[in-house]
Amino acid sequence: MALMAVKNLEKTYHDEQVATNVLKKVSFEIPEGQFVAIMGPSGSGKSTLLHILGFLDKPTGGEYIFDGKNLEDYNEEEVAHVRNKKLGFIFQSFNLLPRTTVLENVKLPLTYSGVKEELWDEMAKEAIESVGLAHRLDFEPSQLSGGEKQRVAIARALVNKPQVIFADEPTGNLDSKSGELVMDIIQKLNRDRGHTIILITHETYTAEYAERIIRLRDGVIESDEKVKERRTGKAFLK
């Protein structure tokens, strides 16, 4: 069975007068371990879709079944638990806590996880090492380059060993070289560690790191196909 399945998913925003249909009856399935890119121009509904898939928002119609259970059936505590344990997020603008060290930033998801505190340092360090930033443990975000910040964010996303990692325009704020490095790491996470990856991007170049591309336009799926010539990064991950 697919890890994630959406069926006739709808999302309508109600303004004072107008109702905007951002997602119109979207359906697809994502099996565990797949690397999917969701593409589309701005306003296509791709961010809204990611928010729903990532348990950050709720649909106004249709179904979303994650790990065999309908989103509607998760209570508040369980939603927080899923976000913490099963999902990891990488944002375009990094969203690291300012004036807080790399190590502390990466430990953040652990503080809500119920994992014993004695293990936090070890787990966080391991995650930071895997993105090649072991020498930056005590740095604060303001002392890091954009690419390094995003790698810290990746370390934070994978510290709880989630099933799915969501990446929302992860290269959007980076120069092409740092962007490539970040995509290399994300691809490695999928290939070597089996994390399911949902990537949101509007660049074809970036999307081709994935094995499957879902194209959205005006809230409907325009195409859903396998990537024929997949881009592969240099082996980076240790």
Partner 1 sequence: MSLKHSIKIASGGLKTNKTRSSLTILGIVIGVTAIIMVVSLGQGAENLILGQIQGIGAKTIGIVPGRTPKGPTDVIATLSASLKQRDLDLLSRKENLPHQDGIMPIVFGNETASYEGETYALNIFGGTEMMAEIYDAFPSEGRNLNEDDVRGYADVVILGAKAAKELSPNQSLLGERIKIKGRNFLVIGLLPEKGGSSLFNFDEIAMLPYTTAQSYIFGIKHFNRIVVRADNEANIDKTVEDIKTTLRDAHNITDPSKDDFGIETQADALETVGTILNTLTLFLALVAAISLVVGGIGIMNIMLVSVTERTREIGLRKALGATKKNILTQFLLEATILTGIGGLIGIALGSLLSFLIAFIISTFYGMAWSFTFPWSAAFLGIAVSATVGLIFGIYPAKKAAAKSPIEALRYE
Q: Which residues bind partner 1 (CB under 8 A)?
A: 51, 54, 56-57, 76-77, 80-81, 83-85, 89, 91, 95, 97-100, 108-109, 111-114, 117, 156, 160
In which residue are the tokens 């990856």 written? 197
CB of 99 to partner 1, least distance (A): 5
Give residue for tokens 């807080």. 100
Query: At its nearest, how many Å lie between partner 1 and the CB of residue 232?
Result: 30
Q: How far is the CB of 201 from partner 1 (least distance, A)?
A: 18
172/233 with CB nearer partner 1: 172
Tokens of 118: 């004695």
| Shortest Å, Cβ 225 to partner 1 | 29
Phi/psi at 19 (nearest 5 deg)? -105, 130
Query: Among residues 87 and 181, whose Cβ is nearest to partner 1?
Result: 87
Instruction: Give the 3-state secondary structure of 33-77.
Output: CCEEEEECCCCCCHHHHHHHHCCCCCCCEEEEEECCEEHHHCCHH
Nearer to partner 1, 156 or 215 (CB): 156
| Best CA proximity match to 44, nearest among 225, 223, 220, 224 | 220
In the complex, least distance from residue 86 CB atom to partner 1, rounded to whole angstroms: 10
Separation between Cα atoms, residue 179 and residue 52, nearest integer Å: 25
Q: What is the rounded distance in angstroms from the CA atom of residue 30 to the CA atom of residue 27?
A: 10
Name the residue nearer to partner 1 (CB basis): 53 or 213. 53
Is 95 or 143 the residue whose CB approaches partner 1 more closely?
Answer: 95
User: Coil, helix or strand for 208?
Assistant: coil
